[in-house]
Amino acid sequence: GDDGYRLWQRYDKVQDAEKLKNYQQSVSELVIEGNSPTLSVAQKELTVGLTGLLGKAVPVSQRLTQQSAVVAGTPANSALIASLNLAERLNSLGDEGYLILTANTNGKKSTVIAANTDIGVLYGSFHFLRLLQTQQSISNLSIASAPKIKHRVLNHWDNLDRTVERGYAGFSLWDWHKLPDYIDQRYIDYARANASIGINGTVLTNVNANALVLTKEYLVKVAALADAFRPYGLRVYLTARFSAPIELGGLKTADPLDPQVQAWWKDKTEEIYSYVPDFGGFLVKANSEGQPGPQNYGRNHADGANMLADAVAPRGGIVMWRAFVYDDKEPDDRAKQAYNEFKPLDGTFRKNVLVQVKNGAIDFQPREPFHPLFGAMPQTPIMMEFQITQEYLGQGTHLAYLSPLFKEVLTSDTYAKGKGSTVAKVIDGTLDNHTLTGIAGVSNIGNDRNWTGHQFGQANWYSFGRLAWDHTLSSEAIADEWLKMTFTNNNQFVAPVKNMMLGSHEALVNYMTPLGLHHIMGWSHHYGPGPWIKDKHRADWTSVYYHRADEEGIGFDRTATGSNAIAQYFPPVQKQFRVIKKCPEKYLLWFHHVKWNRKMDSGRILWDELCHRYSGGVDSVRQMQQTWNTVQGLIDQERFDQVQSFLKIQEKEAKWWRDACLLYFQTFSKRPIPQDLEKPA
Ligand code: GCW
């Protein structure tokens, strides 16, 4: 059956007869001079891919023998490529960029995939395959591409017992029990998939870290994974449990200023590099949600990060230090804590430290305004952390295409250096001239047959990678290519399903947390609705803390009359959000406590508008179901059925959200559900 295992890397024969003929004529042989592990996987991918797509064998050759060859390589390892004098064009493309050109090689017309490095050749090869998979013309190519961000990393919240924190697609891919001796084909296919979208790093372990992964027993297993991934340009990172010197090293302290502690980490790091010579470095969650950290010893985040940074620096490693920190010390507004702790540390981090900031200040909500730390620490490379796994967005069963969420954040303007200081420019280093740049996505991958649980979860992995490479791509373009590669080029399928995807995130926001509501999910598991949650031992773990509904109105006042979290933004941004009248409605209840009878843009009062949003969300899901039903028969039955079943679950749960939230909030508003809307069941 077609279970989705092949992701977007399906190389089935091109259906359009004319295009097929053209491709067959344009690709006669594959010429790859030189050899290396990376070139050999590029060759394999091109051979398998082209053979499948063209429906004919494509001979591989070390030298050019025919017209219409595909020639791939670097000037250093290929005389043919060197003869094209591409130095100038390649110069600006760095270590990972590539060219795809229609060129004249030794008097023969060829398609050339050229790069400075073998990994660039591999990335270019995947791009070339994508052109055929999406049935674009390959007759007159002149493509240059290079990533805008240097470290494009997946974060796996995978535990050593193979459970995955916030994972909804089965168990961890890493089969520690059979490693290092058994290399599951899944590891290779995982690396292929990542390379195909330019992801070049993977943090194997949960940020709620287990120090055991730093022991020899595990390091040999980590090394086996790193060996499997290396040809694909995928570097391995680990999470570092801050108290490891105590737990593993038997020291009395983990104080980062203690010379013994520093020495322990240096030795440990050297040991890691002895197994994994290109080890990427550490990702650290410290002093957050009960994790140990430098503050346990009266030190700050920079002290902790710098100690680890010094340990990995001699080997070129980096430290990704997370800014997702909160505790009960900031009872008036948890949203303010990260900024308050980190902003004063700007300029005190080592050169090889990135501070990794979640897209919003609370926690991966269906919608949040951008985190005020973006733009606020110009001397520090700030790395983005998105969540691909749908912890707060319906988890394994709701279809929500997340590229629009990612784009909304990336295109937000921080005004840090005046208009046009977008979050994307902070992240890609152009705003403050950083060359060390990074973006992380919390993985939604597990050992389910289709990797992500929901077939459409694959689109979120895919779009994270594509945007990490080039954040200027549109959600529409990404959905278009993903659908064509994953399902079919048939426009009767692509056009309506693309529309469905593009509206899906907004639909979810509407039936879960419209108008800036947030964190009203069920306690701890974060799945269904739970706006009534209170009486937990910490205020900021309740829902009532976030929505603050009362007889007068609803919403969290984060202006000067409330927590004043708004003051963490640059003045022009504050101005956008400060007064109710001007604040975009999508963020209204994030920043303001608003009266139930306040007139909204639609002319309705707030209560009625809230009812309309919740109902509209349910309607949108029904619309998605209808759309999906029309494409039956255009794709394989197996994936069609699964998506159809999940949409039924989504509809049921959208109603659950709508009814639960409206009935609950109605106990405060004491107003009727508008006549024209379906009544809560
Ligand atoms: O989103 C929250 C999750 C925790 C997670 C934490 C974090 C890994 O509910 O499960 O822990 O954020 O990002 O550290």
Task: Annotate 179-239 with DSSP letters as a single string.
Answer: TTT---HHHHHHHHHHHHTT--EEE-S-SS--GGGGSHHHHHHHHHHHHHHGGGT-EEEEE
Q: List the structure tokens of 481.
A: 């290519």
Say yes or no: CB of residue 519 within 6 Å of ligand 1: no
| Helix H or strand E segment including 439 | strand 438-442
Amino acid present at 347: G
Rounded CA-CA distance 368/140 in Å is 43
Helix (H, G, I), strand (E, B) or coil at 308: helix
Contacts (Cβ under 8 Å, ≥6 apart) of 81: 33, 71, 73, 74, 75, 112, 114
- Residues 64 and 69: their CA atoms lie apart, in Å, by 7
Q: Give the closest residue (by CA) to ligand 1 atom 7.
A: 324
Assess whether the C-beta atom of 391 lies below 6 angstroms from ligand 1: yes
Nearest CA to 510 out of 410, 611, 582, 392 is that of: 611
Neighbouring C-beta atoms of residue 611, cutoff 10 Å: 27
Distance 639 CA to ligand 1 centre (A): 31
The answer to whether 551 and 597 have CB atoms below 8 angstroms apart is: no
386 lines ligand 1 (CB under 6 A): no
Q: Which atom of ligand 1 is nearest to the CA of 285?
A: 14
CB 207 less than 6 A from any atom of ligand 1: yes
Round to whole Å and give the CA distance between 206 and 442.
10
Q: Is the CB of 156 under 6 A from ligand 1?
A: no
Helix (H) or strand (E) holding 114: strand 108-114
Q: For ligand 1, atom 11, which residue shows the shortest CA distance?
A: 208
Q: Is the CB of 166 under 6 A from ligand 1?
A: yes
Question: CA–CA distance from 180 to each of 60, 158, 226, 282, 582 (Å)?
Answer: 33, 17, 11, 21, 58
Span from the CA of 309 to the centroid of ligand 1 (angstroms): 24
- Mutation test of ligand 1: which of 203, 207, 288, 289 has the most ligand atoms closer than 8 Å to its C-beta? 289
Give the rounded distance of the alpha carbon of 276 from its chain centre.
25
Task: Give me 504's structure tokens.
Answer: 């899906």
SS (H, E, C) 455-494: CCHHHHHHHHHHHHHCCCCCHHHHHHHHHHHHCCCCHHHH
pLDDT at 438: 99
Containing 383, the helix (H) or strand (E) segment is strand 382-387
Q: Where in the chain is the domain with CATH 3.90.1330.10?
A: 511-556+593-669
* Ligand 1 in reach of 157 Cβ (< 6 A): yes
Closest CA to 295 of 309, 305, 283: 305
**How many of the other CB atoms lie within 10 Å of CB of 186?**
16
Residue with tokens 């949960």: 206
**Residue from 157, 166, 359, 524 whose mutation best tests the ligand 1 pocket (most atoms within 8 A of CB):** 166
Is residue 410 within 8 A of residue 427, CB to CB? The reply is yes
Distance (Å) from CA 203 to ligand 1 centroid = 15
Ligand 1 atom at minimum distance from 157 CA: 8
* Dihedral over alpha carbons 191, 194, 197, 203 (to 10 degrees): -140
**φ, ψ (nearest 5 deg) of residue 572:** -65, -30
Q: For residue 438, what are the β-bridge partners?
A: 151
Ligand 1 site, residue 368, Cβ cutoff 6 A: no
For residues 120 and 137, give the distance between their C-alpha atoms in angstroms, rounded to a whole number: 22
Amino acid, res. 649:
I
> For residue 389, which of 380, 381, 378, 398 has the smallest C-alpha distance?
398
Write down the number of H helices and E strands in the chain. 21, 16
In three-state secondary structure terms, 41 is helix
The encoded tokens of residue 367 equal 């919608």
Which residues on neighbouring strands pair with residue 318, listed in sequence order? 281
Peptide bond into 180 cis (omega under 30): yes
Q: Which atom of ligand 1 is nearest to the CA of 208?
A: 8
For the domain with range 511-556+593-669, which CATH number is right: 3.40.50.1260, 1.10.10.10, 3.40.50.720, 3.90.1330.10? 3.90.1330.10
Q: Which CATH class is domain 151-474?
A: alpha beta
Q: Cα of 356 to ligand 1 centre, how many Å? A: 14
Q: Which residues of the chain have pLDDT under 70?
A: 1, 330
Ligand 1 atom 3: residue of nearest CA: 166
pLDDT tens per residue, range 556-612: 999 999 999 999 999 999 999 999 999 999 999 999 999 999 999 999 999 999 999
Burial of 358 by CB count in 10 Å (0-12 exposed, 13-18 middle, 19+ buried)? buried
Q: Is the CB of 165 under 6 A from ligand 1?
A: yes
Is residue 4 left, alpha or beta, with left meaning phi > 0 and alpha meaning psi from -120 to 50? left
Please name the fold of domain 17-145: Chitobiase; domain 2 (3.30.379)
Q: What is the Cα–Cα distance from 188 to 229, expressed in whole angstroms?
A: 7
CATH 3.30.379.10 domain span(s) along the chain: 17-145
Ligand 1 nearest-atom number relative to CA 166: 10
| Ligand 1 in reach of 642 Cβ (< 6 A) | no
Give strand pairing partners of 413.
Answer: 422
Distance 444 CA to ligand 1 centre (A): 14
Q: What is the CA(324)–ligand 1 centre distance, in A? A: 9
Q: Measured from the CB, is residue 285 less than 6 Å from ligand 1? A: yes
Supply φ then ψ for residue 253, to 5 degrees: -140, 160
**Gyration radius from the chain CA atoms:** 26
Instruction: List, for residues 451-472, the tens digit of each pLDDT value.
Output: 999 999 999 999 999 999 999 9
- Quick one: tokens of 132? 């055929």
**Whether residue 430 has its Cβ less than 6 Å from ligand 1:** no
Ligand 1 near 324 CB (within 6 A) = yes
User: How far, in Å, are 453, 511, 623, 649 from residue 653 at the CA level?
Assistant: 17, 9, 15, 6
Residue 415 backbone zone (phi > 0: left; psi -120 to 50: alpha; other: beta): left
Rounded to the nearest angstrom, the distance between the alpha carbon of 442 and the centre of ligand 1 is: 10
Ligand 1: nearest atom to the Cα of 392: 1
CA 364 from chain centre, in angstroms, equals 11
pLDDT of residue 330: 65
363 C-beta closer than 6 A to ligand 1: yes
Instruction: Determine whether the shortest distance from the Cβ of 522 to ligand 1 is under 6 A.
Output: no
Residue located via tokens 């520690």:
176
CA of 306 to the centre of ligand 1 (A): 24
Lookup result for tokens 């024969």: 13
Give the SS3 label for residue 29. strand
Q: How far, in Å, from the CA of 459 to the mean position of ligand 1? A: 22
Q: Catalytic residues, which ones?
A: 289, 363, 391
527 Cβ closer than 6 Å to some ligand 1 atom: no
Probe residue for ligand 1, chosen from 363, 395, 526 as the CB with the greatest number of ligand atoms within 8 Å: 363
CA distance 436 to 439: 11
Q: Which atom of ligand 1 is nearest to the CA of 526?
A: 9
Greatest Cα-to-Cα distance within the chain, rounded to the nearest angstrom? 81
Residue 381 main-chain phi, psi, to 5 deg? -65, 120
For residue 442, which atom of ligand 1 is closest to its CA?
13
Q: What is the C-alpha separation between 417 and 437, in angstroms, rounded?
A: 18
d(CA 465, CA 123): 12
Q: Cα(556)–Cα(540) distance, rounded to whole angstroms?
A: 12
13 C-alpha to center of ligand 1: Å?
A: 43
Ligand 1, atom 2, residue with closest C-alpha: 363
